Amino acid sequence: MFIFDAHCDTLSTGRPLWRNGGHVDIERLRARGPGIQVMAAFGKDQLLQLDRLSAAAGCLNCALLPAVEGGDTIGTLSDLAPFLARNPVFFGLTWNHDNRLAGGCRGEGKGLSSLGRDVVEALEDAGALIDLSHASEQTFWDVLEVARRPPVVTHGCCHALCPHPRNLTDGQLKALARKGGVLGVTFYPPFLTGRDEASLPDVVRHIEHAVREMGAGHVGIGSDFDGCEILPQGIAGTQDLPALIEALPFAKSEKALIAGGSFMRILPSKGGAFHFTG
């Protein structure tokens, strides 16, 4: 089955991409079968991380797509240009805290700034989708108001099942679906259960809830592999995604949407220079 994982942090770990001891590497991606892995540049040296991905994807027949997690280095619209040149498919304005673009989910409740609105417009003009995973609720609503393309939450869970600031309320889930967007259900136990322990059935439970609120065509997978220090029991890395999809209590057509079809539907036609099928 084709699998699209909308978020991992493997680039920021500095580990070798071909084979490593983390959650994701190219050997396991190729063994897993057809699909796409989105790799986010996070923290320091984001541009260098994206260049590292470009070098790997340019010489390997693998489906690796670049993304940016956090726009803290963007102080003017011109600061965005180097990122646009590297064709991210997803761009997260914030990472938990407030910055010059928008409010984060751990910030003071601020929304989208004037610069943030300009950045959203420029990103969408370039073909990128806005990732609201770490945004404040006000930023979420502000982006849904101004976005022309479907926004995404590449890695989050359902607030109704676990009231964590990183999770989306049912109202947000419904609104994201109305805008055409997609939620990538993530695997971090505190988002799933509120504790440091979770299991594969907990992931299934959040996927089921999201499907009830949004429809299967707006739900996908956003593992946060290599960004989680702990994972649910039964999930050790990208090699376990097929088993997760198989465990979902849905028809084959709905499983195919959750596994990859939902994100493929909105994949930008521009950007994603490293989109290979193999």
- DSSP conformation letters of 115-162: HHHHHHHHHHHTT-EEE-TTB-HHHHHHHHHH-SS--EEEEE-BTTTS
- Look at residue 63 in the predicted model and tell me its pLDDT: 87
Rg, Å, the chain Cα set: 17
Q: Is residue 191 part of a domain?
A: yes
Q: Is residue 254 part of a domain?
A: yes
CATH number, residue 57: 3.20.20.140
- Look at residue 135 in the predicted model and tell me its pLDDT: 98
For the stretch 145-197, pLDDT in tens is 999 999 999 999 999 999 999 999 999 999 999 999 999 999 999 999 999 99
Domain count, the chain: 1
- Look at residue 271 in the predicted model and tell me its pLDDT: 43
Q: Is residue 11 part of a domain?
A: yes
Does the pLDDT at position 12 exceed 90?
yes
Note down the domain range covering 227. 3-266
Q: Is residue 272 part of a domain?
A: no
Task: Determine which helix (DSSP H) or strand (DSSP E) holds 10, and give its type and residue range.
Answer: helix 10-13
- Look at residue 249 in the predicted model and tell me its pLDDT: 98
Question: Per-residue pLDDT averaged across 125-142, rounded?
Answer: 98
* The 3-state secondary structure of 201-241, one letter per residue: HHHHHHHHHHHHHHCHHHEEECCCECCCCCCCECCCCHHHH
Q: Is residue 204 part of a domain?
A: yes
Greater confidence (128 vs 274) lies with 128
- Look at residue 277 in the predicted model and tell me its pLDDT: 34
Q: Is residue 271 part of a domain?
A: no
Does the pLDDT at position 244 exceed 70?
yes
- Look at residue 58 in the predicted model and tell me its pLDDT: 60
Which has the closest alpha carbon to 187: 238, 227, 224, 160?
224
For the stretch 63-117, pLDDT in tens is 899 999 999 999 999 999 999 999 999 999 999 999 999 999 999 999 999 999 9
Average model confidence (pLDDT) for the chain? Answer: 94
Q: Is residue 276 part of a domain?
A: no
Q: Is residue 278 part of a domain?
A: no
Greater confidence (250 vs 56) lies with 250
Greater confidence (273 vs 230) lies with 230
Does the pLDDT at position 278 exceed 70?
no
For the stretch 101-112, pLDDT in tens is 999 999 999 999
pTM above 0.85, yes or no: yes
8 A C-beta contact, residue 9 and residue 227 = yes
| pLDDT > 70 in the chain, percent | 95
